[in-house]
Structures are given as C-alpha cells and as structure tokens.
Structure 1
Amino acid sequence: MNEKDWELLQTLYEMKNITKAAEKLFISQPALTYRLRSLENEFGVEIAKRGTKRLQFTSEGEYLVEYSRKMLNELAKTKDQLLNMAGNIQGHLRIGVSSHFAHYRLPTILKDFLAVYPNVQVNVTTGWSTKISQKLERKEVHIGIIRGSYEWKEQSILLNEENVCLISKNKIHMGDLPSIGRISYKTDPIFDNMIKDWWNHHFSQPPMVTMEVDRIETCKEMVRNGLGYAIIPQISLRPHDQLYNRILAIDNHPLLRKTWLIYSNSALDLSVVKAFVQFVTTQLRQQAHSL
C-alpha cells in the first residue's frame, strides 16, 4: 500500500462512486476497480460493497480509509518539515477557508502574500466553517479561516466583522416583510440561527420563503430582478450590485458576522505558516491605521 493507494481510498470515500472517483483521479474506471480489488486481496477484507448508486464502506474499509488519511497527513508533514529545515520561506501552505471569504476576500490576500513569498505553494480547500474547523482538528490543513462563533482552544485572530443586511431591489418597509417573498440560500447553521433570532425578535409569524437557491450570487441576482428580498452578510455586497440595503439590528445592536483565522500552536513551527500569520496580522494593522 503506497501514497497512490491512500489517495485512491480517500477519493473513493469522498465520492462514494467509482465512476466519479476515477474522473477525479484521472484514471480509468477499470483501473480503479482493479486496484481496489488488489487492496482487498492484499488485506483479505472487503473494503466497500458495490451498490447500484453508491459505495458502502465496510468497517474494515473505513479503518483503512482512516489509516490512509493519517498516512497522507504524516507524509505531507514530513515534506513540510524537510522544506522548513532549509531555512527559507517555501513549501506548501494548506488553508481551509469559508466559501464566502474565499470568494470575496481571499484572492487579494493570496495575491499579495505570494508576491512577497513566490516560492510558497498554496493549497486551498473551501466549504462551510464547520467542515473547515474539523479539517483543522484532523490536521488536514495548517490554517482555518472560518465565519461565526466556533469553539477553538488554540490560536485565533479576528480578521473581520461586518454587518448583516437586508437587500431588495427597491426600498421596502420592514413591517411588510412577512407578506413579501424571501429568497434564501444555503448557509451554515450559525448564520441561519442568527437570522432566525432576528426574525423572531421582530415578527410573530414565519417568513414567506418563496425561493431557495444554492449560492449567494444566485440569490442576489433574483433580488436584482425584483423577485423578493434576502438577508446576507455585508461581505457579499459590492458597489456594482446597486441594491437597496439596510443593516439589521436587535435592540439597536447591529447583527455582526465575524471572520476568524485559527491555527494550532504547533503549526507555527513551520516557517510558511508563521509567515502567513504574520503577513495577515500586519495587513490588519495597516488597515486599522488607515481608517
């Protein structure tokens, strides 16, 4: 069992589908199936049951998946340490980032960082903050950038906090909201609960959700066409959106959405991680002084 096998098992477990896993690994389906059978013969266990739609991993298969995850992490850690021993700022920086922050803010940060440290290779994983924090706990990423309030026992830096806004094509009266269609989008549970708390504080009847979309940009496009209103974090608003927006509050306290950079103390042993943390911290200080 080698590195390619570890990656194969991780991909199969993620996709739960041989065809999709083969596409992601850029190998043929027969080649993937053959290698999976070879691993089963090598260990004398059935790794996954072939269903009509999804693979179902056996307990032995899940054990091997966890083993492969640990081995890939150890291999990546070893490579990082060897590059770190050279004394230069180089190597791989693995960052897990909230999807919204990755879309609206991360590109500029990475562009500026790589201009200073061109020998660094950045690997970015995006997703909901819950999954990013889990990846950091499993040491699959060096640094997490998450939104909302999550318990993290080690190092954290407040990157940003922005208001939560109600957006619409034209100005609307807040008292009319229960009778106006809302366009909702998939978001993390913490932000969803924040919106529910605000609504319940102001209204005794539920909102009239007329559309549910998967992305915030799709949501904004629906609002732009006068199909309803939406509630979004201010980070998602851009000047060219040309939407009416109103900051939401409870008892005159604005709803705030916070973004945190989190990492473990041991991660700072890697020069590339330390450089990124220092770079972001310096940027924050410069932004504060310019205000």
Structure 2
Amino acid sequence: MDEKDWRILQMVYEERNITKAAEQLYISQPSLTYRIQQLEQELGVKILSRRKRGVDFTVEGEYLVQYAISMLHRLNELKDYLANLNGKIKGTLRLGVSQTYARYKLPVILSEFLSEYPEVDIKLKSGFSYEVIQMINKEETNIGIVRDTYDWKGPKILLDKEKIYIVSKEEIELSDLPNLRRIHYNTDLSLKNVIDTWWKGTFEAPPKITMEVDLIDTCREMVENGLGYAFLPEICLKGYEHLKKYELTLEGQQLVRNTWLIFNEHSLDLSVVKAFIKFMKNDDCI
C-alpha cells in the first residue's frame, strides 16, 4: 500500500460511493474498483460490501480505512517537519475557516500573507464553525478561524468583534417586527441562538418568517429589494450603508459576533503556523 491507496480508501469512505469517489480522485470508476480488488487480494480480506446505492465497509475495511487516514496524517506531519528544518517559512498551511469569514475577509488576508511568504502552500476548507472545529480535532487542518468557539478547549485568539443588526430597506418600528416579513438564512447554531434569545426576551409572538434561504448574500439581496427584514452581522454589510440598520441589544447590552483563531498547541512546532498566527495578530490585516 502507498499514499495513492490511502487516499482511495479515504475518499471511498467519505463518499460511500465508488463512482463519486472516482470523480473526486480524477480516475475512472473501473480503475478504482480494480485497485480495491487488488488490495483485497493482497491483504486477503474483503474491504467493501456493495449495496444498491453505494458501498459499506466490512470490519476489516473499517480498520484499514483508519490505518490509511492515520498514515496520511503522519505523511503530512513528515512533510511539514521536513519543510521546517532549514528555518525558512515554507510548507503547507492547512486552514479551516468559517464560510462567512472566508467569503468576506479571507481572500485579502491570504493574498497579503502569500505576498510575504511566497513559498507557503495553502490548503483551505470552509464550513460552519462547528465543522471547522471538527476539522481541527481530526487534525485535518492546522488552524481554524471560527465565528464562535463552542466548547473548544485549546488555545484561541480573538480576531474581531462585530455588531449584529436588524436590517431593512426602509425605516421600521422595532415594536412592529412580529408583524413584518422576516427573511431567514442558514447560519451557525450559535448565532441563531443569540437571535432567538433576543427575540424571546423582546416579544411574546413568534416572528413572521416568509423566506428561508441558504446563503447570507441571498438574504441581504432580498432585504435590499424590500422583501423583508433580516438579522445580519456587520461583516456582510460593507458597501450597503444605504440600508437601515438597528443595533441588536438586550437589557442594555450590545450583542456582538466574535471571530476567533483556534489551533492545537503542537501545531506551533511548524514555522508556517507560527508565521500565520503572528501575521493575524497584526491589526492591519484583521
């Protein structure tokens, strides 16, 4: 078995479908199937059990996948270590980033970082904050940038605080919100909880949600076209100063959205990780 085999097993395990895994790996489905059959012959065990719409792993296959994932982690650690031996800032920086932060702030940050450290390669995954924390826990990434830390117990650095607004195209009376059209978008559970807590502490009636969309950008565009109001964080409102904004407060306390940089302590062994953390601490780039 080699690195290619480890990646095949990992991808099939993630997709639970031979055709989809082959597409992700840019190889043909027959080639992938043949290689798994070869592995089964070499190891003398059955790895996969086929079902109507995909595959399941046998007990032996599950063990083999965990071995493959472990070996890929060790290989990444080896590559990172060797890249750091000469003291230069080089190698691969694996980032897991909240999708909202990745959309609105990360492109400029990475551009400036790579201008300063051109020998660094970036491996980036974005998702909801809880998904980023899972990436860190599984050591799929060196550093995470999350909108909330949930139950993260490791080191963390506060990058930013931003206000949460009620946003509409025209002026509205906040007391009328239960009767006005609200646009809801899919977001982290933590922000949803903040908004729900504010609502329950302010109104007895439920909100009148008339639209549910998947993306924050879609939600904002609906608001801009006068289709309703929404609860939006400050990060997505640059350039939309014409919209009416009302700060979200509860019992005189301003409600904010925090952005954190998180990492495991042992990641600091990598010079590329230390360089990125130092770079992010610079207020000019945050």
TM-score, normalised relative to structure 1 = 0.92
Residue 149 of structure 1 contacts residue 190 of structure 1 at CA under 8 Å; is this kept in 2?
no
Residue 3 of structure 1 contacts residue 72 of structure 1 at CA under 8 Å; is this kept in 2?
yes
Matches within 5 A, 1:1-291: 1-240=1-240, 242-281=242-281, 283-284=282-283, 286=284
Give the superposition deviation at 1:86.
1.6
Q: In 1, Cα distance between the equivalents of 2:109 and 2:236?
A: 16
Q: In 2, Cα distance between the equivalents of 1:84 and 1:162?
A: 36
Q: In 2, Cα distance between the equivalents of 1:59 and 1:171?
A: 61
C-alpha root-mean-square deviation of aligned residues, in Å?
1.8
Give the superposition deviation at 1:16.
2.5
Question: Please, which moves more after superposition, 241-250 or 191-200?
Answer: 241-250
Q: In 2, Cα distance between the equivalents of 1:36 and 1:216?
A: 42
Give the superposition deviation at 1:46.
3.7
> Closer, same or farther in 2 for the Cα pair 1:192/1:240, shift >3 Å?
closer
Q: Number of residue pairs matched?
A: 286
Show structure 2 runs of 5+ residues with no match. none
Show structure 1 runs of 5+ residues with no match. none
**Which deviations, in whole Å up to 9, do the C-alpha atoms of 1:116-146 show, x marking residues without a partner?**
1111111111111111111112211111111
**Which deviations, in whole Å up to 9, do the C-alpha atoms of 1:88-135 show, x marking residues without a partner?**
111111111111111111111111111111111111111111111111
3-state DSSP class of the match of 1:149?
A: coil
Question: Please, which moves more after superposition, 90-99 or 173-182?
Answer: 173-182
Q: In 1, Cα distance between the equivalents of 2:213 and 2:241?
A: 18
> Closer, same or farther in 2 for the Cα pair 1:71/1:176, shift >3 Å?
same
Percent identity for Structure 1 against Structure 2: 48
3-state DSSP class of the match of 1:153?
A: coil
Question: Please, which moves more after superposition, 32-41 or 163-172?
Answer: 32-41
Amino acid at match of 2:169: K
Q: In 2, Cα distance between the equivalents of 1:102 and 1:287?
A: 14
Give the superposition deviation at 1:241.
6.6
3-state DSSP class of the match of 1:154?
A: coil
